[in-house]
């Protein structure tokens, strides 16, 4: 099995102080009420962006917005409800933003989960695949016309180095609780993030100033790392980084002038703003196309059942 070492360079290629002034820019960050999502929102707001912090828990989301406003002084920070477990909620959230008739310069699909037990979304999709891939796929597609109209713009999809350990996309057994262990379910969903980003570039963004990339934030120290079912070694855990450092690579892709200057699109970045190595599966254009069509058909099927 491929060996992946959880190591991070001592010298950071990118830091918060390198984020340019973002006055006049509008940003959406999913999963923004805690962890690296919260830090991402805070630092975007610090540089004067109009930030929409999206999350499922309304109380926690609103509290996060008020905390950022209090700390930074930027009043253009807003909460919007988004429940990635529900395609209906994803559609409503995108429509709510579009109704504001604002530009959209930065979209960060940050939300990601790994579950201890096999479970389903509200639409009957295996939860990790649904929340980590299907929901963000629909959300991005619904907002894409606005993003393209606002270019130059950025799309950042938060993946994981775990995508390199996935053994492909198990389309036929996606909803089979006996088919995959928790690690594989998560890795598969993170591989889907990278495949989606690459296919998005091919289908919609050639010739546009919309720069869509994926990132691995680093081994961020969260309670998830201590779960017994994931069984990470102490050596592996000892190389974890803070949530502050975990937000750096996302912010690099979302804001650094280098992205446009070097025409980075369809790239995969690791801490701290360094191009990393993708899974060999991401070289399979047919797999990316199949995933795209599978996801579109799945969304159409599930939304038609809600009518």
Q: How confident is the model at residue 2 (pLDDT cuts 50, 70, 90)?
A: very low
pTM for the full predicted model: 0.94
- Per-residue model confidence (pLDDT) at position 15: 97
**pLDDT digits 0-9 by tens, 17-52:** 999 999 999 999 999 999 999 999 999 999 999 999
Q: Report, as an integer, the average pLDDT of 134-158.
A: 98
Catalytic residues: 186, 190
Number of domains in the chain: 1
Q: How confident is the model at residue 228 (pLDDT cuts 50, 70, 90)?
A: low
Residue 195 lies in a domain: yes
- Per-residue model confidence (pLDDT) at position 30: 98
- Mean pLDDT computed over every residue of the chain: 92
- Classify the C-alpha dihedral 196-252-146-306 as positive or negative: positive
Residue 202 lies in a domain: yes
Q: Report, as an integer, the average pLDDT of 224-253.
A: 72
Q: How confident is the model at residue 227 (pLDDT cuts 50, 70, 90)?
A: very low
Reply yes or no on whether the pLDDT at 270 is more than 90. yes
Residue 300 lies in a domain: yes
At 220 the three-state DSSP class reads strand
Residue 3 lies in a domain: no
**pLDDT digits 0-9 by tens, 117-139:** 999 999 999 999 999 999 999 99
> Which residue range forms the structural domain that includes residue 77?
16-305
Residue 127 lies in a domain: yes
What's the CA gap between 18 and 252, in Å, rounded?
Answer: 9
CATH of residue 99 = 3.40.50.720
Residue 2 lies in a domain: no
**pLDDT digits 0-9 by tens, 275-303:** 999 999 999 999 999 999 999 999 999 99
Residue 1 lies in a domain: no
* Cis preceding-peptide flag for 272 (omega within 30 of 0): yes
Residue 11 lies in a domain: no
> Taking CA 163 as the corner, what is the angle to CA 157 and CA 169, rounded to the nearest 5 degrees?
100
């Amino acid at each position: 099995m491929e060996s992946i070492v959880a190591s991070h360079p001592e010298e950071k290629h990118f830091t918060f102080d390198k984020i340019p002034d973002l006055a006049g820019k509008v940003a959406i960050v999913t999963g923004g009420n805690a962890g690296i999502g919260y830090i991402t929102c805070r630092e975007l707001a610090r540089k004067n962006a109009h930030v929409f912090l999206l999350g499922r828990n309304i109380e926690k989301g609103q509290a996060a917005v008020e905390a950022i406003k209090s700390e930074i002084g930027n009043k253009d920070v807003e909460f919007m409800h988004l429940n990635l477990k529900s395609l209906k909620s994803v559609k409503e959230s995108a429509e709510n933003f579009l109704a504001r008739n604002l530009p959209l310069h930065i979209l960060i699909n940050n939300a990601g989960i790994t579950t201890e037990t096999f479970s389903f979304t509200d639409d009957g999709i295996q939860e990790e695949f649904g929340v980590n891939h299907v929901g963000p796929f629909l959300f991005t597609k619904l907002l894409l016309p606005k993003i393209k109209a606002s270019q130059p713009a950025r799309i950042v999809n938060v993946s994981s180095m775990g995508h390199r350990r996935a053994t492909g996309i198990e389309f036929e057994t996606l909803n089979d609780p006996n088919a995959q262990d928790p690690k594989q379910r998560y890795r598969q969903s993170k591989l889907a993030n990278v495949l989606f980003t690459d296919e998005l570039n091919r289908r919609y963004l050639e010739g546009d100033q919309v720069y869509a990339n994926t990132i691995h934030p680093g081994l961020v120290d969260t309670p998830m790392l201590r779960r017994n079912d994931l069984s990470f070694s102490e050596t592996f855990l000892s190389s974890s980084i803070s949530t502050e450092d975990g937000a750096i690579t996302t912010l690099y892709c979302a804001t650094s002038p280098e992205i446009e200057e070097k025409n980075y699109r369809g790239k995969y970045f690791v801490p701290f703003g360094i191009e990393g190595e993708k899974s060999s599966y991401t070289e399979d254009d047919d797999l990316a196309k199949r995933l795209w069509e599978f996801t579109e058909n799945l969304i159409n099927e599930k939304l038609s059942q809600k009518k």
